[in-house]
Amino acid sequence: MASGAYGDASQKIDYVFKVVLIGDSAVGKSQILSRFARNEFSLDSKATIGVEFQTRTLVIQHKSVKAQIWDTAGQERYRAVTSAYYRGAMGAMLVYDITKRQTFDHIPRWLEELRAHADKSIVIILIGNKSDLEDQRAVPTEDAKEFAQKEELFFLETSALGATNVEEAFMTVLSEIFNIVTKKTLAAGEDRGSDNSSSLAGKKIIIPGPAQIIPERNRMCCRSS
Ligand code: GTP
Ligand code: MG
């Protein structure tokens, strides 16, 4: 079977990373996911009810990484229990709609919820979606950039419709998680000394719990290195 960009069920998996999508209803969370997981887009997307997830396996630094992306309803009445949704999440995509100011104004609330329920070291990206609707823009890029800097979040504007920056947004989060996890694994190896090094050399699938990947300080932000 050919191994295409959208994965191959038979390949071996080195890491599984859970990433959650959050943000107001109709900002495009489900379509961003659909673009990433299946390279599909629908204009008559229905509001999500409860929780769904999709996966896509990709390669980061010669390791195969299964991205497990969770999507929930922006509408309060359809949302599933939050703590379960955030459990084990290593990345979060905080989405607003660049044509709806209110969806951006609600971002601090989403961030609060995230910080209350998710692991402290979670990697967060702020996403301004629907960048194809430039003529209806209600949120200047600069405002969002400034907010992201202040809150130490990554930031990108995307279009699920135009397939602009969707791949980049996911890669930003997944690569950062990858760096955190592999650094932590290395550090663990060093701590244990050379005796145990053979156990780290293998092909084990390690799905670190949140506690295992907490770096000394919160390093979710925007270092350019
Ligand atoms: P909930 O499930 O209710 O939380 O909403 P959601 O955030 O999942 O929104 P969804 O993905 O269902 O998209 C809402 C509407 O916006 C749909 O009509 C989509 O087709 C449209 N949409 C999503 N992304 C884009 C985009 O990048 N550009 C444009 N023009 N429309 C988009
Ligand atoms: Mg949805």
- CATH number of the domain at 212, please: 3.40.50.300
Beta strands 51-60; 63-72: pairing state = antiparallel
Q: Are 21 and 29 in contact (CB under 8 A)?
A: yes
pLDDT at 92: 98
CA–centroid distance, 167 to ligand 2, in Å, is: 18
Q: Are 16 and 207 in contact (CB under 8 A)?
A: yes
Listed residues: CB within 5 A of ion ligand 2: 29-30, 48
Q: Rounded CA gap, 28 and 41, in Å?
A: 10
Q: Are 119 and 90 in contact (CB under 8 A)?
A: yes
pLDDT at 196: 41
Environment class of 206 (CB within 10 Å of its CB; exposed 0-12, middle 13-18, buried 19+): middle
Beta strands 91-97; 63-72: pairing state = unpaired
Mean local confidence (pLDDT), 18-44: 97
Asked if residue 169 has pLDDT above 80, the reply is yes
Q: Rounded CA gap, 154 and 125, in Å?
A: 4
Q: Can you give the residue range of the structural domain that contains 115? A: 2-223
User: Is the beta carbon of 208 within 6 A of some atom in ligand 1?
Assistant: no
How many Å is the Cα radius of gyration of the chain?
18
| Structure tokens belonging to residue 224 | 């350019």
DSSP character at residue 96: E
Going by pLDDT thresholds of 50, 70 and 90, the confidence category of residue 126 is: very high
pLDDT tens column, 177-208: 999 999 877 777 765 544 443 333 333 444 44
> Backbone phi, then psi, for 102, in 5-degree steps?
-60, -35
- Using the atom order of ligand 1, give the atom closest to the CA of residue 133: 30
Q: Rounded CA gap, 51 and 114, in Å?
A: 16
Say how many C-beta atoms besides its own lie within 10 A of residue 68's C-beta: 19
pLDDT at 34: 98
Asked if residue 219 has pLDDT above 90, the reply is no
pLDDT tens column, 83-117: 899 999 999 999 999 999 999 999 999 999 999 99
Q: Rounded CA gap, 45 and 61, in Å?
A: 34
CA–centroid distance, 115 to ligand 2, in Å, is: 21
User: Is the beta carbon of 52 within 6 A of some atom in ligand 1?
Assistant: no
Q: Rounded CA gap, 177 and 213, in Å?
A: 9
Q: Which of 43-57, 130-144, 176-190, 200-214 has the lowest mean pLDDT?
A: 200-214
Residue 125's nearest CA partner among 180, 71, 172, 181 is: 172
pLDDT at 206: 43
User: Is the beta carbon of 28 within 6 A of some atom in ligand 1?
Assistant: yes
Q: Which of 31-35, 47-51, 66-70, 215-219 has the lowest mean pLDDT?
A: 215-219
Going through 130-178 in order, the beta strands assigned E by DSSP cover: 154-157
How many domains would you assign to the chain?
Answer: 1
> What is the pTM (predicted TM-score) of this model?
0.83
